[in-house]
C-alpha cells in the first residue's frame, strides 16, 4: 500500500476566484483554476488518516472528497486560511461513541489557538453555571510538537516537523517517509534543505503564491530555486493566488525544468498523489 495525499485545496488565503474580482483567472472556466484554501488529507501505508489544516472551506472540502472519518489533525500555523474552519471537526467527535479528536501543532500556534477558540480549548470555559448548550462543541485534544526536525510519532506514524519562517510567524514543514509538505514559508533555512537532500525526497509539495517574489510566501523564483537545490523526484506547486493561471504555470514549469530530472507540476483541488 502506498502513502496517499488528497489535495483538498490548492489556493491562497483569498481562494480562487477571489471575491469581487473579474480577472482572467477568476473568470476562467478551467476547473483547475477553482481553488479552495490549501489543505490536505493524508492516508499512510498503514491506513492511518491525517487532516492537515482546517480551512474556512473545510466542510465543503470534506463533503466533496467524501471524507467521513478523521483520526488525527495537524495544524501548520494559526493564519485564518489554515485554521478558522476548525469548528467543522465537531461532527467527527459525535460518535457513536463520542470521542476526542487529537490536534497537533507547534507551541506558538497552540497558544494562539487557545486564545482564539477558548470555547474549544480552555478547560474551565464551561462549568455548572455556564453549561454547554445547543449543538455542542468540538472535543479536541491539543498536543504540542517539538518541531525541531527530530522523529515524532503520531498514532504510530513517524513524522519530522520543522519550523519555517512565514512573515512574523512560524509554519510547520512536514516530512513523512519520502514525502515533504512545505507550505506557507518565505524561505527554507539551509540546515533544513540539507536534511531534505539527505532524505532523497520523492514528492515535495511546495509553496508558490505568485509569479516572481513575495514577502511572506515563496513565489515562482524562490520555489524553483529550492526545487533545484533539494532535487526531489517530483515537486508540486501549491497555495496559488489568482495571478497564477494553471495552464500558464504548467508551461513555465516545463520550460524551467526541461533540463532537470525533477518532474515539476501544478497541483489542483481534488488531485490525488501517491508516494
Predicted pLDDT at 137: 86
Q: What is the pTM assigned to this prediction?
A: 0.96
pLDDT score recorded for residue 125: 83
Please state which CATH class domain 4-148+155-274 belongs to.
alpha beta
pLDDT, averaged per 10 consecutive residues of the chain (275 residues), comes to 97 98 98 99 98 99 97 98 98 90 98 95 79 79 98 98 96 98 97 97 98 93 98 98 98 97 98 97
Give 168-234 as a DSSP string: TEEEEEEEETTEEEE-S-S---HHHHHHHHHHT-SEEEEE--SSS--SSS--HHHHHHHHHHH--SE
Three-state DSSP state, 136: coil
Question: pLDDT tens for residues 219-242?
Answer: 999 999 999 999 999 999 999 999
Alpha-carbon span 10 to 266, nearest angstrom: 9
What is the pLDDT at residue 255?
97
Alpha-carbon distance of 30 to 248, in angstroms, equals 12
Q: Where are the domains of the chain?
A: 4-148+155-274
Q: What is the pLDDT of residue 105?
A: 99
Give the C-alpha separation, 173 to 58, whole Å. Answer: 21
Query: For residues 239 and 184, what is the distance between their CA atoms, to the nearest angstrom?
Result: 8
Residue 93 contacts residue 65 (beta carbons within 8 Å): no
Amino acid at each position: 500500500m502506498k502513502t496517499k495525499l488528497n489535495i483538498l485545496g490548492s489556493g491562497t488565503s483569498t481562494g480562487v476566484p477571489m471575491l469581487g474580482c473579474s480577472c482572467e483567472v477568476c473568470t476562467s472556466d478551467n476547473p483547475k483554476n477553482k481553488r479552495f484554501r490549501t489543505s490536505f488529507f493524508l492516508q499512510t501505508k498503514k491506513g492511518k488518516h491525517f487532516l492537515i489544516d482546517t480551512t474556512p472551506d473545510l466542510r465543503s472540502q470534506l463533503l466533496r472528497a467524501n471524507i467521513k472519518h478523521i483520526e488525527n489533525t495537524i495544524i501548520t500555523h494559526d493564519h485564518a486560511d489554515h485554521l478558522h474552519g476548525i469548528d467543522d471537526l465537531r461532527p467527527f467527535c459525535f460518535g457513536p461513541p463520542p470521542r476526542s479528536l487529537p490536534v497537533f501543532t507547534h507551541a506558538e500556534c497552540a497558544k494562539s489557538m487557545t486564545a482564539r477558540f477558548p470555547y474549544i480549548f480552555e478547560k474551565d470555559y464551561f462549568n455548572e453555571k455556564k453549561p454547554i448548550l445547543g449543538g455542542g462543541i468540538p472535543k479536541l485534544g491539543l498536543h504540542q510538537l517539538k518541531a525541531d526536525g527530530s522523529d515524532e510519532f503520531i498514532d504510530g506514524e513517524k513524522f519530522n516537523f520543522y519550523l519555517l519562517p512565514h512573515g512574523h510567524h512560524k509554519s510547520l514543514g512536514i516530512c513523512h517517509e519520502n514525502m515533504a509538505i512545505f507550505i506557507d514559508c518565505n524561505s527554507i533555512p539551509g540546515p533544513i534543505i540539507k536534511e531534505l537532500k539527505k532524505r532523497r525526497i520523492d514528492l515535495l509539495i511546495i509553496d508558490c503564491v505568485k509569479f516572481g517574489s513575495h514577502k511572506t510566501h515563496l513565489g515562482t523564483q524562490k520555489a524553483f530555486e529550492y526545487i533545484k537545490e533539494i532535487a526531489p523526484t517530483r515537486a508540486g506547486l501549491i497555495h496559488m493566488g489568482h495571478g497564477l493561471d494553471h495552464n500558464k504555470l504548467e508551461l513555465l514549469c516545463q520550460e524551467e525544468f526541461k533540463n532537470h530530472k525533477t518532474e515539476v507540476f501544478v497541483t489542483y483541488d481534488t488531485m490525488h498523489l501517491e508516494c
